[in-house]
Amino acid sequence: MPEGDTVHKLAAALAAVLCGRAVDSALLEGRSAASLTGGKVEQVSASGKHLFIVFDSGLMLRSHLGMYGTWHAYAAGQPWRKPERQASIVLAADGKRFVCFNAREVELVGRDSLRRKDLMGRWGPDLVVAEDFRLLAARARALLSPATLLVDVLLDQRVASGVGNVYKSEVLFLEREPPVRRLGTLSDHGLANLYRCAAGLLRSNLGGGRRVTRCVHDGRGSLWVYKRRGRPCHVCGTGIVRGVMGRHLRATYWCPDCQA
């Protein structure tokens, strides 16, 4: 699943090629979107894991990539790398095709509509731009039960948006918190630190290249625990453990010694 930093980088890449250009044609879920034809793209932005393409008509095209969504760009006549039936969005502009495959959600909303306001109220502050981590800790306590596992706290986009499965495991390791710890047993300071750490990692990965949470150039990898099951912990040498846990039964990686 693309995480918040990936969606922000995607928004920047699409903005560079779409902003100021008129859309010649548009398809949403295989159907013509005539209301977008001829419209000029004013802005492409990200909010958490949601991508917004804003048109001068006041319409906004929202997409959420979910687990398997990807955006591709194709020159005229260039064969697609995925089947046409998997195309959720197709925008034709300046002789090119910009295609979003396998999006979990696609929706066209008005920029000032009640629907957009309702949507924006459903997820928490974007960690890429969030500043008050104590506020996020308070939101978590207000929205979630004290019995909620930390793996579920970090993934709950209603509290703060942007964290996915990779950062979930990496943040818990860096803060030395066991993934099965309950929200109610963690102090406000400790909870705020989880979000502060997540925000730092997301922001540090907004540039190009692979995702990095471990800035040690020793040839032993750029991540601390994610997808390192059975391999030695970079800190203590204990074998990294993988478990499927939490409300959505997502894979989590941790060090049973460092995160005891």
Catalytic residue positions?
A: 2-3, 49, 250
- SS3 call for 27: strand
Q: How far apart are the first and last CA of the chain?
A: 28
Residue found by looking up tokens 């991540």 in the block = 223
Nearest alpha-carbon partner for 162 in 4, 2, 1: 4
Q: Which long-range contacts (CB under 8 A, 24 or more apart) does 211-217 make?
A: 211/5, 211/166, 213/167, 213/170, 213/174
Site of tokens 């990496």: 170
Write out the two tokens for 87.
């195309």
User: Quick check: 153 and 175 in contact, CB under 8 A?
Assistant: no
Alpha-carbon distance of 118 to 200, in angstroms, equals 28
φ/ψ of 142, rounded to 5, equals -75, -35
Nearest residue to 107 via CA among 98, 97, 118: 118
C-alpha dihedral sign at 9, 234, 259, 242: positive
